[in-house]
């Protein structure tokens, strides 16, 4: 029996979810709130904010959806999944006790320690700490300093500048009460999205994000300027290590709790020179833009997969993948990631120009009073392509990007360079 689903959120990740769910035979109708100018092509947009937990519950009940898929982390930390489940509505997205894996870096570190998962050593600094001594004791490599709050992927500073490190520590303690100082993990980063519930888990193909704003990994950190999947740095041997050393222990730990983890666990990895994986961070939702390059590689029904996880039925669920490559390039507004200039016209991003193997994923887009497409955020949209090879996917994605015009916008020109060098 076909189902109806409500997707919560309005960015590029939610656009990708709406697109994938609309192509699922198990899904009859996709709703999204608040969505964006692109999600209307795949779903019915609604106007409830992703932060309005009561409003989201009311909308879910009014629409009589079969389940809810939560895109961003903030509503999960605000107990949206708990509220939905209390009212008999299955939710793809963990309850608040597990959302703290992303909401608190300290909570996540303690969870890793309990499960025996490899990660960087760390200390917690507060107003009583001797900052200088702590920094000196960690001075062999760049300092890694992490705020212990939700920071939209931007609450981390990696620096060799003592003044910058000290100022960030002081500012973080002033606003948050404490901060984490970690040992630096050298290596190459990758991500693995793991769909899980009480009964089992499914590892999606590994991907690689590009966090820095400019080519060559220069400039400020962003929410992500592009990604590709699968990431060849995660070899078959390394994949086995990730599953045995990280995924299985975390699943065993989480599924053993009174409240099971239902949703996707984003495992941010660092692969060292010996091919050993370490956890950099956990997120409790699909990565953005990793979601845009991972979902298209799922050959089986995405709606069935997400509903199975929301209802503890993954154990008997099989998933198949396309033997292809996917790459996405993000277009950002002028001024991003510091102060994005918004409300500018976007040309060339029409659905009519999309094809089965290359399309535009909307993020910060909307319509003005003249029904023209405009930018409404920092990361505006992305061009995503799927092809038999990564180089072909890259070429298609950049060819599609060349057709799009947004005054002052910028994008990286080297997405996928690590795999293609």
| pLDDT surpasses 90 at 157 | no
pTM value is: 0.95
Question: pLDDT grade, residue 176 (50/70/90)?
Answer: confident
Poorest-pLDDT segment among 136-140, 224-228, 373-377 = 136-140
Q: pLDDT (tens digit, 9 = 90+) per residue, 22-64?
A: 999 999 999 999 999 999 999 999 999 999 999 999 999 999 9
Q: Is the sign of the CA dihedral 419, 288, 147, 160 positive or negative? A: positive
With contact defined as beta carbons under 8 Å apart, do 122 and 181 qualify? yes
Lowest mean pLDDT among 57-66, 157-166, 409-418: 157-166
Mean pLDDT estimate for the chain: 95
Domains observed in the chain: 3-96 (3.40.50.20), 121-182 (3.30.1490.20), 188-420 (3.30.470.20)
pLDDT bucket at 319, cuts 50 / 70 / 90: very high
pLDDT at 105 over 70: yes
Between 135 and 393, the higher pLDDT residue: 393
pLDDT bucket at 152, cuts 50 / 70 / 90: low
Q: Is the pLDDT of residue 289 over 90?
A: yes
* Mean pLDDT along residues 192-220: 97
Decide the pairing of beta strands 226-229 and 208-209. Answer: antiparallel
pLDDT at 138: 77
H-only helix segments in 23-67: 53-63
DSSP character at residue 205? P
What pLDDT does 141 receive? 79
**Please, which pLDDT band fits residue 154 given cuts at 50, 70 and 90?**
low
**Cis peptide bond upstream of 164, omega within 30:** no
Is the pLDDT at 412 greater than 70? The verdict is yes
pLDDT confidence tier of residue 233, bands split at 50, 70 and 90: very high
pLDDT band at residue 205 under the 50/70/90 scheme: very high
- Specify whether the CB–CB gap between 333 and 342 falls below 8 A: yes
Q: 């699943």: which residue's tokens?
A: 251
Can you give the pLDDT at residue 153?
Answer: 62
SS (H, E, C) 349-379: CCHHHCECCEEEEECCEEECCCCCEEECCCE
Alpha helices (H) along 260-336: 290-294, 302-310
User: What is the distance between the alpha carbons of residues 59 and 69, in angstroms, rounded to a whole number?
Assistant: 13
Q: Over the stretch 322-358, which tens digit does the pLDDT of each residue have?
A: 999 999 999 999 999 999 999 999 999 988 889 999 9
Instruction: Enter the tokens of residue 342.
Output: 């918004």
- In eight-state DSSP terms, residue 206 is P
């Amino acid at each position: 029996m076909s189902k109806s689903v409500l997707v919560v959120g309005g960015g590029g990740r939610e656009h990708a979810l709406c697109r994938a769910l609309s192509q699922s035979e198990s899904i009859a109708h996709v709703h999204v709130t608040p969505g964006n100018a692109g999600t209307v092509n795949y779903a019915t947009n609604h106007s409830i904010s992703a932060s309005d937990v009561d409003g989201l519950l009311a909308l879910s009940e009014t629409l009589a959806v079969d389940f809810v898929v939560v895109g961003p982390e903030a509503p999960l930390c605000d107990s949206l999944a708990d509220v939905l489940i209390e009212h008999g509505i299955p939710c793809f997205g963990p309850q608040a006790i597990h959302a703290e894996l992303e909401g608190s870096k300290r909570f996540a570190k303690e969870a890793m320690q309990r499960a025996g998962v490899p990660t960087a050593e760390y200390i917690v600094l507060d107003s009583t700490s001797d900052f200088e001594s702590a920094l000196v004791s960690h001075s062999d490599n760049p300092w890694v300093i992490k705020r212990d709050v939700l920071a939209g992927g931007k609450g981390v500073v990696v620096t060799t500048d003592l003044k910058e490190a000290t100022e960030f520590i002081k500012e973080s303690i002033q606003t948050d009460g404490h901060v984490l100082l970690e040992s630096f993990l050298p290596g190459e980063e990758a991500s693995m999205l793991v769909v899980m519930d009480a009964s089992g888990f499914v590892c999606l193909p590994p991907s690689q994000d590009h966090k820095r704003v400019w080519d060559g990994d220069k400039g400020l950190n962003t929410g992500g300027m592009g990604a590709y999947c699968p990431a060849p740095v995660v070899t078959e041997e390394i994949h086995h290590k990730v599953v045995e050393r990280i995924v299985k222990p975390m699943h065993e730990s989480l599924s053993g709790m009174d409240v099971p983890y239902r949703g996707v666990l984003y495992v941010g990895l660092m692969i060292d020179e010996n091919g050993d994986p370490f956890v950099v961070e956990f997120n409790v939702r699909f990565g953005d833009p990793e979601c845009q390059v991972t979902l298209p590689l799922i050959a089986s029904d995405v709606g069935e997969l997400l509903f199975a996880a929301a209802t503890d039925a993954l154990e008997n669920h099989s998933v198949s993948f396309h033997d292809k490559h996917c790459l996405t390039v993000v277009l950002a507004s002028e001024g991003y990631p510091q102060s994005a200039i918004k409300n500018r016209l976007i040309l060339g991003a029409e659905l009519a120009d999309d094809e089965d193997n290359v399309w535009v994923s909307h993020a910060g887009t909307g319509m003005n009073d003249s029904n023209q497409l405009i930018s409404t955020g920092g990361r505006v949209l992305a061009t995503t392509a799927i092809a038999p090879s990564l180089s072909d996917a890259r070429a298609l994605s950049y060819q599609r990007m060349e057709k799009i015009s947004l005054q002052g916008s910028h994008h990286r020109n080297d997405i996928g360079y690590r795999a293609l060098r």
